[in-house]
């Protein structure tokens, strides 16, 4: 008998409970053991939701800990505490923990993995990144020895839904944010989504899986979509580019680096076609060229399914971590051009900048709120620069600005 403890009974926790019941017979066939959900730890406000479940339900941590000798814990609450203390306690007892808590994994994953190793158990967090996409266990299982030079992706369904609506239906940022909240894609406080924290946690986790170690948080730059104005999206679209919140990490000569930033993708870039709340992840390497994973990035069923499959994966296999050998890759940047957006009041300042720096502006589009310029990315700028991924020659052609117009040589 496998005795299961479930911490949390919100959207994800209730989904895990339902999924375990639905797959009970399949799990028995795979693991040769019956499963039993022995106890569920809930918050007061979740207690009514759990009234009809076939398990012991409590709001007391002490009572939960004493009810059974658990064989596995599913942690389905958010934030750092008390999730960290709860997880650490069970790992120290040698009990495996399965989590969907991306913030906890990103901030405390190294410590929790060390605890799991020290006590001969495992810490699984497949569901913490990209919901229903089995990316983490692919990296720990079938791609264990595959060299990866870069990982990139669209990792936040909320912002991708918003940007898709802005591009395809020409809607404004404020309107689609309100709709995303009404649909349940965005929280009442959407800061983690629109300021890039959600994707930032996830790319740090993916970096650990791809490059074999946890890198310092200072190695990862973060910028959310709140800086993107409606007219920026329109200008990008006029030139044939789609704006996305892109997260990426790569191993450069000075170590692992990463970033989360709004970026403009050419139409032939695979991630450009990831629409709505869907997530997409790209892995690049010499032996694989490029692998693309697409699927639901969140949702009750997808996340719960990932947690249960994570449990099965670890019970049936001995996963291996990538080695931490410091290979050198000349992969400092993945783009050569960028957009700058200039308000009309800033135009003279922008002209002086390109003149002094000798920058040849590649293309421009005039909008009634300002101008969008495509420039080489290898210059420092007094303006915010947004990466352009893909071949800029595939853009829709507008009037080209010649360097002489700006006094640049």
Question: Which pair of structure tokens corresponds to residue 28?
Answer: 């028995």
- Which helix (H) or strand (E) segment holds residue 381: the answer is none
Give whole-number Cα distances, 294 to 16, 204, 235, 275, 403, in Å: 22, 19, 27, 10, 41
252, 331 Cβ separation under 8 angstroms? yes
**Residue 119 phi, psi dihedral angles, 5° rounding:** -115, 20
Rounded-to-integer distance, Cα 367 and Cα 310, Å: 49
The closest of 150, 359, 382 to 256, measured between CA atoms, is 150
Instruction: Check: CB of residue 274 under 8 Å from CB of residue 244.
Output: yes
Which among 383, 371, 376 is positioned nearest to 359, based on CA atoms? 376
Residue pair 141/313 in contact (Cβ under 8 Å)? The answer is yes
DSSP letter for 155, please.
Answer: -
Active site residues: 202
Q: What is the DSSP string of 186-229?
A: S-SS-HHHHTSHHHHHHHHHHHHHHHSSPPPGGGEEE--GGG--
């Amino acid at each position: 008998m496998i005795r299961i403890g479930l911490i949390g009974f919100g959207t994800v926790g209730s989904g895990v409970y339902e999924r375990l019941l639905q797959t009970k017979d399949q799990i028995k066939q795979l693991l040769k053991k019956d499963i039993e959900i022995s106890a569920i730890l809930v918050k007061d406000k979740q207690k009514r939701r759990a009234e009809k479940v076939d398990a012991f339900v409590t709001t007391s941590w002490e009572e939960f800990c004493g009810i059974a000798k658990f064989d596995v814990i599913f942690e389905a609450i958010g934030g750092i505490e008390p999730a960290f203390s709860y997880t650490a306690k069970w790992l120290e007892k040698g009990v495996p923990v399965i989590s969907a808590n991306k913030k906890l994994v990103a901030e405390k994953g190294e410590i929790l993995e060390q605890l799991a190793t020290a006590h001969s158990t495992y810490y699984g967090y497949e569901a913490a990144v990209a919901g229903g996409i089995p990316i983490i266990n692919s990296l720990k299982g079938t791609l264990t020895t595959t060299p990866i030079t870069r990982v990139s992706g669209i990792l936040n369904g909320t912002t991708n839904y918003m940007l898709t609506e802005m591009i395809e239906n020409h809607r404004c940022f404020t309107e689609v944010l309100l709709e995303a909240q009404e649909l349940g894609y965005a929280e009442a406080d959407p800061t983690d989504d629109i300021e890039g924290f959600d994707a930032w946690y996830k790319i740090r986790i993916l970096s650990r899986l791809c490059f074999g170690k946890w890198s310092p948080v200072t190695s990862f730059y973060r910028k959310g979509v709140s800086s993107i104005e409606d007219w920026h999206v329109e200008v990008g679209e006029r030139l044939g580019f789609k704006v996305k919140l892109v997260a990426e990490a790569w191993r450069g000569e000075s170590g692992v680096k990463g970033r989360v930033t709004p970026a403009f993708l050419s139409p032939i870039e695979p991630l450009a076609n990831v629409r709505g709340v869907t997530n997409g992840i790209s892995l690049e390497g010499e032996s694989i060229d490029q692998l693309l994973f697409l699927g639901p990035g969140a949702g009750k069923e997808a996340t719960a399914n990932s947690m249960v499959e994570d449990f099965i994966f670890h019970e049936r296999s001995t996963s291996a971590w990538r080695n931490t050998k410091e290979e050198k890759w000349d992969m400092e940047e993945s783009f050569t051009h960028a957009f700058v957006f200039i308000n009309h009041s800033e135009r003279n300042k922008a002209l002086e900048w390109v003149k002094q720096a000798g920058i040849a502006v590649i293309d421009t589009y005039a909008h009634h709120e300002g101008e969008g310029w495509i420039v080489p990315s290898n210059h420092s700028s007094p303006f915010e620069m947004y990466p352009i991924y893909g071949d800029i020659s595939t853009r829709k052609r507008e009037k080209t600005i010649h360097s002489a117009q700006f006094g640049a040589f």
